[in-house]
Structure 1
Amino acid sequence: MKNELMTEKLTGAQKVAIFLMWLGEEEAGQIFSYFTDDEISEIAGCMTEMKSISSELLLHVLNEFSNDYHDCSKMIADGNAFFNNAIEKSVSKERAEKIYSALHKKKRGMPFSCLRQVKPEILSDLVKGEHPQTIALILAHLDSNAAADALVRLPADIQADVAMRIANIAYVPPELIDEIDRILQSEIARAGSAGIGNIDGLSTLAEILNKVDRNTEENIFTVFDEEAQEKANVVRQLMFVFEDILKTDSKGMREILKNIETRELIFALKTASGEMKEKVFASLSQRAAEMLREDMEVVGAVRLSEVEAAQRNIVRIARELESEGKIIIGSSKEDIFV
């Protein structure tokens, strides 16, 4: 956005930003409390880029709010300072930090965008000489499909190390991301925008591992189980959720149902999707399905914690059956049949 704004090209958010800056920090702060975080972020993005607002532009905006406005003069304002002062007076510190973070991401763009069009084999060659921590940081900011392709192509002896570092990522200074991004852009240019570093490392790793081949997954978990068993368990849970059992064929579903108790199944189905319930009923005999429906109607309210515990146990059973080769759970990975 340019500092010299055109009257006919003003967006709604820009008009609101100008009007609030004219009102002053105290009044703007009170009005901010009625906006959602997304609305505040959009308005803030406009405010922080405004340095000078002409009298003509200000009058145009004010006339939309009141036809009785007469005396306006040129307003010079530091939009960034105005927004910071106004937001601190209107919302809690925690909410303000979220808004600042969202605004920062919006202004800076997506991290490592220069890698989006890079082929997986080139990407892996580009990063494999880097320190495992740097590789982890890069992969954690990529689309999970691209990250999975790159992880598979890394040397086997560093795959688990990189995966471990992804799982441990929490906050990364944006300046560090900027520096790595700048270096990568230079390397890509020779060969022919970063956001705030709040990352859920465990969830990111789970998404990546969901898309790698089984050998890579097992190689990584072998090391994880030895060095970070608790995190390994969390990643396994994130990789496979209750609704993923839908990917099992009818034979596999019947095998799972044989290994769980009816009461546990009833609890687990409390929050299940209609599709999941129908698949369970279809895998039972007509009589068993009718009895299950009747039992589900009789059971009253159940604690959510009990429902989640039942679902986790069924997921555990399904994973055990899969590891024993008794069932196959479909996924986006490339399955090999022999």
Structure 2
Amino acid sequence: MAETPSTELANQQQQLVVEADANQRELAGDEKAAVLLLALGPDYGKPIFKELDDIEIRQLSRAMSQLGPITQDMLDTLFVQFITSLTTNGDLAGNVDSTERLLLSFLPQERVDMIMEEIRGPAGRNIWEKLSNVQEDVLASFLKNEYPQTISVVLTKISTEHASKVLANLPDDLALDVIQRMLAIEPVQKEIVEKIENTLRTEFMSTLSHTRRRDSHEQMADIFNAFDRQTEARFLTALEERNLESAERIKALMFTFEDLGNLDGTAIQTVLQQVEKPLLTLALKGANDETKEKFLANMSARAAKMMRDDMDAMGPVRLKDVDEAQSGMVNLAKDLAAKGEIVIAKGGNEEEMIG
């Protein structure tokens, strides 16, 4: 039975070999991708592979199998190039034709036709679903400059819950006018609805996708958070030499294990209730004294004594294991913040970090 691309990739997976005396050379495009994914390892590389098609996986597999040793300088240069490209602002412009040409370069004609049909097709296709995912204050800020009748049509097309939040963000007089028009609204002509949909698509959604694009420094800060300590320090030092401003912005946005010590007692206790004891013990074993004492102070006297005894009994531990445990606690805190159970702020500002 023939191997699938994913099986082929699994069979060819290797650890990135970094040697000081390897041949220094310029990497080709597919080699750069191969080095980057090997350096990320299976845990962080797997989600990327899931986004690739069969041809791309085969190409990367071939590049990985033929890569050979990489010098530390080559690896450092590649990561700095990657970081710089993500943190350097640039202007791009596109249109329907250029988009179609790009898609045809790596997708079958049938898939491209389906995608382009949605783009070129009926103006309202999926627009109302997209509007329902737009933050209510942002949508209200745009709609408040439209005619009340137009606003009433839009609010009847989106979900009731979202419409109520948008209404609450409109000026009172305008909101009351819109409510009255919604109460008396009659079936709207198809041409009017299509005109409103076109306006929303061209004047609002396109602008929104540009202006609300995630900050590249924030994205890179998340990537740096996932590095082990040595890798983080190495790339930050290299980046500081090339682009000090970007390096400083990334450091300010990073949320580290030490930042957990800036949470207030209630938030720390919430984290303590959720974290597994072995993970906590290992993470605190390698923590600085201030962070360690902050966590111990939020335990009962008996639990704190047991934790100290457990840390003493562990003896020496590998820095790699400590890094993984502390990263696990940082991820747990982020998950709790996403659920609204605690509030965290990046940058280690104690006054901004509350539970």
TM class by shorter chain equals 0.3 to 0.5
Structure 2 length-normalised TM = 0.32
Structure 1 length-normalised TM = 0.33
